[in-house]
Amino acid sequence: MRPLASAEAVQQVAQTGATAFAVELMPRTTRAQSMDALSSMASIAGYKAVIAVADALPRIFPMMTTAAGTITPSRVLVIGAGVAGLQAIATAKRLGAVVSAYDVRPAVKEQVQSLGGRFVELPLETGDAQDARGYAKAQDEAFYAKQRELLGKVIAENDAVITTAVVPGKRAPVLVTEAMAKGMAPGSVILDLAAERGGNCELTRPGETVVVQGITVIGPLNLAGTAPYHSSQVYARNLTSFLTNLVKDGQVRPAESDDIIRDTLLTQGGEVVNMRVREMLGLPTAVVSGQ
């Protein structure tokens, strides 16, 4: 069992003849929640993202009354209200920031508001923004261009921006251009949780922190790894739940017997057998044994 690191890695695993599973392919169903490693890691990353921003920002998050008067709270914008984004909203709110969030999926508005955030609504057509699994769908460049135009004004009003927008199997969309970033006040911070997929910000350098005209842009590659104790703990629980479901009476259950096993089965018999991954790799989507 190994992560879907790259097309080359998947092909190499297949060539060994191993039967391999990828927890990244876990279906988003109630029964699979205890096995959802992506959500576990995203939740920790969302929390750590806020801590990193709070440390880098030359302001404090909460409103505070001092002998010298009242300090106004920092304003934080979270782009992308998936698991990481929602955790970032909750954490920033607990630290006292004024939090707003934007997501292309209108369905998450209620979740954002339940955490105390303000949902940013842009006049865009978003009827086809979410797939059947609840993930954001890739849009055309005209949509992203209009989105960037409207988001620019919102970003300029905030002291910090945390971006989390990714599309499974694709390069992360650029939502924050260089011009938009430079429109923020000096000292502002952008943390790009999509850095590993290329980044949501045009200035992001994966694995680096850069400062451009007074704007700090942080591009972490593995924020969950900076909390190894709890990241390892929850990942182990995810895998234990998965293996408990996978094996019955000492035998690996066949893929056709369970949707979780079927959806996470990656390679078998020397072939990549997962239909979604075959499509991503540009392989023929013929019916393969086990699917």
Please say if 39 is a catalytic residue. yes
pLDDT band at 286 (very low <50, low <70, confident <90, very high): low
Read out DSSP for 169-182? TSPPP--B-HHHHH
In this predicted structure, the answer to whether residue 212 has a pLDDT above a threshold of 60 is yes
In this predicted structure, the answer to whether residue 130 has a pLDDT above a threshold of 70 is no
Q: Which of 2-11, 141-150, 159-168, 280-289 has the highest mean pLDDT?
A: 159-168
What is the residue extent of each domain of the chain?
7-35+232-281, 37-226
Please say if 241 is a catalytic residue. no
The answer to whether the CB of 129 falls within 8 A of the CB of 136 is yes
Sorted by sequence, the CB contacts under 8 Å of residue 96 that are 6+ apart come out as 60, 61, 62, 63, 73
Domains 7-35+232-281 and 37-226 belong to one CATH topology? yes
pLDDT band at 288 (very low <50, low <70, confident <90, very high): very low
Please say if 135 is a catalytic residue. yes
Top pLDDT among 221 and 133 is at 221
Strands 209-212, 215-218: pairing is antiparallel
- Averaged pLDDT for residues 209-221: 97
Determine the pLDDT at residue 274. 93
The answer to whether the CB of 257 falls within 8 A of the CB of 279 is no
> Dihedral (C-alpha) 111, 116, 117, 121: value to the nearest 10 degrees?
60
Please say if 213 is a catalytic residue. no
pLDDT band at 108 (very low <50, low <70, confident <90, very high): very high
**7-35+232-281 belongs to which CATH class?**
alpha beta
Active-site residue (options: 34, 59, 118, 135): 135
Q: Which of 1-10, 25-34, 138-147, 169-178 has the highest mean pLDDT?
A: 25-34
Choose among 193, 250, 160, 238: nearest CA to 49. Answer: 193
Please say if 113 is a catalytic residue. no
Determine the pLDDT at residue 129. 53
> Dihedral (C-alpha) 178, 111, 76, 120: value to the nearest 10 degrees?
60
Tell me whether residue 153 is exposed, middle or buried, using C-beta atoms within 10 angstroms of its C-beta: 0 to 12, 13 to 18, 19 or more. exposed
Determine the pLDDT at residue 104. 84
Mean pLDDT computed over every residue of the chain = 90
Longest CA–CA separation in the chain, Å: 72
In this predicted structure, the answer to whether residue 3 has a pLDDT above a threshold of 50 is no
Determine the pLDDT at residue 164. 96
Top pLDDT among 147 and 29 is at 29
**37-226 belongs to which CATH class?**
alpha beta
pLDDT band at 126 (very low <50, low <70, confident <90, very high): low
pLDDT band at 139 (very low <50, low <70, confident <90, very high): low
Active-site residue (options: 11, 15, 31, 33): 33
User: Bridge-partner residues for 163, per DSSP?
Assistant: 79, 192
CA distances in angstroms from 146 to 11, 60, 158, 181, listed in the order given: 38, 33, 20, 16
Active-site residue (options: 2, 28, 94, 237): 28
pTM of the model: 0.86
- Give, to the nearest 10 degrees, the angle between helix 83-94 and helix 37-56: 40
Sorted by sequence, the CB contacts under 8 Å of residue 209 that are 6+ apart come out as 56, 216, 217, 218, 219
